[in-house]
Amino acid sequence: MTLSTKLISELEKLGLNPKSVEEFVELAIAEDLAGGEDVTSVATIKADQLAIAEYRVRKDGAVAGLHIAAAVLENSGILDYQILVNEGDRVAVGTKLIEAKGNTRSLLLTERTALNILGRLSGIATLTRIWVDAISGTKCAIRDTRKTTPLMREFEKFAVRMGGGVNHRLSLSDAALIKDNHVVSAGGVTPAFAAVKAMYPNIDLEVEVDSLDQLSEVIDAGADLVLIDNMTPDQCKQAVTIVNGRAKLEASGGITLDLARAYAESGVDYLAIGALTHSASVLDIGLDLRME
């Protein structure tokens, strides 16, 4: 499969790697066929029959993954389609997202794969938007984690962006994050910090601390981004005072939606929310088929 020039351009503008999308879609379709064919469609639908497929939202939410769904369509030879809303748009029940025309068998072959992708990514965008709205008006941003579905990280983090959130590192090589187990292994926060700075002096470095004493230690060592773990909003306020603008602060661990604003108003720069990707509910999206 080769994606259309137009779709490749649109994917690139969205910050998605067209090659990754293409490979992912091919694997997803291959998984659905398992080396065979769609036996139900082949038995019940004439090979040359044409139809129109309409992808519609069945629950209010924010949408993401429209252009990946388009890649699914193109994979099966469906090139006559329109994406009718923008990535990240808030949409109401009944909104038509995509309309596609083509071979009926091909449209049905793409149905479940496209809906799985749309539903999953739109669910993440919807949940992210809820968190972003909860802290609106503060300087704080909602940030994701690496708690993503294996092999779907690029797409799930894209969905976070479409929901108004910001991305943490995409991989272990993008940036360093010294966590508690690194601290134990290195013999302390300061030695761990020094070791990373010595080996990778130009890489972004974040340090996790679980006490205000540790915070002071890493700030004095020169940390410019600190993850403060499992602290209350009041402790976060104290952390902001200690740092006094010398570094950015990210609050993490046990943060619930009802406390999001309290954490954001403490003055921290980010809230790290793993639930955006590991606990988002699928947004209900369906496909309605009609004969051309």
217: CATH: 3.20.20.70
Residues 219 and 242: beta-carbon distance below 8 Å = yes
How far is residue 33's CA from residue 206's CA, in Å, rounded to a whole number? 44
AA letter at 187: G
Q: What domain count does the chain have?
A: 2
**Coil vs helix vs strand at 71:** helix
Is the same domain home to 28 and 124? yes
Q: What is the model's pLDDT at position 81? A: 98
Is the same domain home to 137 and 274? yes
Q: Is 208 a catalytic residue?
A: yes
Q: Is 48 a catalytic residue?
A: no
**Pick the catalytic residue: 112, 197, 237, 248?**
112
Q: Is 112 a catalytic residue?
A: yes
Residues 237 and 265: beta-carbon distance below 8 Å = no
Q: What is the model's pLDDT at position 221? A: 84
Report the Cα 31 to chain-centroid distance in Å: 23
Is the same domain home to 10 and 107? yes
Is the same domain home to 255 and 118? no
How far is residue 111's CA from residue 103's CA, in Å, rounded to a whole number? 12
Is the same domain home to 145 and 264? yes
Q: What is the model's pLDDT at position 220? A: 87
**Pick the catalytic residue: 22, 229, 250, 269?**
229
- Given a cut of 70, the residues of the chain with pLDDT beneath it are 1
How far is residue 21's CA from residue 236's CA, in Å, rounded to a whole number? 40
Residues 140 and 268: beta-carbon distance below 8 Å = yes
Predicted TM-score (pTM) of the model is 0.95
Backbone phi, psi, residue 141, to 5°:
-120, 150
How far is residue 62's CA from residue 10's CA, in Å, rounded to a whole number? 19
Is the same domain home to 122 and 157? no
How far is residue 133's CA from residue 161's CA, in Å, rounded to a whole number? 14
Is the same domain home to 57 and 38? yes
Is the same domain home to 117 and 222? no
**Pick the catalytic residue: 22, 208, 250, 269?**
208
**Coil vs helix vs strand at 159:** helix
> Which CATH number belongs to the domain containing residue 69 in this structure?
3.90.1170.20
Is the same domain home to 259 and 162? yes
**Coil vs helix vs strand at 74:** helix
Helices (H), the chain: 5-13, 18-33, 39-44, 66-75, 104-134, 153-162, 180-186, 189-199, 212-221, 233-243, 260-264, 275-278
Is the same domain home to 90 and 147? no
**Pick the catalytic residue: 90, 96, 153, 179?**
179
Q: What is the model's pLDDT at position 1? A: 66
Q: Is 229 a catalytic residue?
A: yes
Backbone phi, psi, residue 229, to 5°:
-100, 135
Q: What is the model's pLDDT at position 180? A: 86
Is the same domain home to 167 and 67? no
**Pick the catalytic residue: 147, 153, 169, 261?**
147
Is the same domain home to 167 and 36? no
Supply the range of the domain harboring residue 240.
133-278
